[in-house]
Amino acid sequence: MTNETKDRKEEDLPMEPMSERLSALEAVLFAAGYPVPFARLAAILGCEESEAREAAQELAERYRRCLGGIQILLYEEECQVCTREEYESYVREALGIKQGGKLSNASLEVLAIVAYHQPVTRAQIEHIRGVDSTYAVSSLLMKKLIEEKGRLDAPGRPALFGTTADFLRCFGLASLSDLPDAAGFLTEEQLSLDIAEEPDGATVLDETVLDETALDETVPSESAESAV
């Protein structure tokens, strides 16, 4: 018997009825409609957090085997019930949801830098890109794809930025460890965070040149490569 045949037969086997805990977990996640921390689920279900995680994993596996339109997304500290990506068009049509706002190339570039270098300051982002990134950073903050993670212990106490749980959900990631190898699409300059500083702590940008990419920072682009 081949592995493919074995897997297919295993998926065809009827699943055991769900326990009360699993059914309760399913009901809570469905009613919530947003990510629920495992610690909160444990308190609701009256069990240890590790048991709540195991229950969520079992429920996610059940949905995977059903091959239906619903799935359970598991994150590091929380989980969520949601529709499968391949049925997005049906859901949008049924609920009258318009296509979400789009990211300009500049915003996508800044988001990639934050994702792979977080926590990172705006000055560090601009050092890597060589252009002002104020608009892109503000746009990503408004879309809740990045957030302030603290302050750098340096003159001026600049804000440190990192990605959010919304970023993971939008890109279908369970955790940051699921990010692809950055060397595949970031340039050598973008991979580097070797920033020179003046004695007074001022950051020195090597190439602050206004080019076509910089224009994207001041005027939102009509064209976009990714929908959020």
Regarding whether 182 and 163 lie in a shared domain, the answer is yes
Flag whether the pTM goes above 0.85. Answer: no
For the segment 26-56, what is each residue's pLDDT rounded down to a tens digit? 999 999 988 999 999 999 999 999 999 999 9
Distance of CA 68 to the CA centre of its chain: 23
DSSP code at position 196: -
Look up the domain containing 183 and give its range.
102-219
pLDDT value at position 198? 33
Per cent of the chain over pLDDT 70 is 71
CA-wise closest residue to 94 among 83, 104, 103: 83
79 shares its domain with 115: no
CATH number, domain of 162, equals 1.10.10.10
Say whether both 89 and 113 belong to one domain: no
pLDDT at 219: 36
Count of the separate structural domains present in the chain: 2
Rounded to whole angstroms, the Cα distance separating 114 from 133 reads 12
Q: What is the distance between the alpha carbons of residues 156 and 193, in angstroms, rounded to a whole number?
A: 19
SS3 155: coil
